[in-house]
Structure 1
Amino acid sequence: MKTTRQNADLRRSHVTPADGNVFADLGFSPQEAKTLLRDADARIAKSRKLKEDAASAIAQWMQARKLTQVAASEILDVSRPRVSDLVNLKLERFSLDMLVAMLLRTGKKIDLVVR
Structure 2
Amino acid sequence: MMESQSFEDVFDALADTPAEAANMKARATLLAALVDRVTSWGLIQEEAAARLGVTRPRLNDLLRGKLGKFSLDALVNMTTAAGLVLEIRVAEAA
- Normalising by structure 1, we get a TM-score of 0.60
Counterpart of 1:98? 74
Larger Rg: 1
Count of residues paired in the alignment: 77
What percentage of residue pairs aligned between the two structures are identical?
Answer: 31
State the distance in 1 between where 2:43 and 2:34 align.
11
- Normalising by structure 2, we get a TM-score of 0.72
Structure 1 unaligned residues grouped into runs of 5+: 1-38
1:1-115 matches, within 5 Å, as: 40-115=16-91
Report the 3-state secondary structure (helix = DSSP H, G, I; strand = E; otherwise coil) of the residue aligned with 1:113: coil
Q: Is the 8 A contact 1:62 1:68 kept in 2?
A: no
Report the 3-state secondary structure (helix = DSSP H, G, I; strand = E; otherwise coil) of the residue aligned with 2:60: helix
Structure 2 unaligned residues grouped into runs of 5+: 1-14
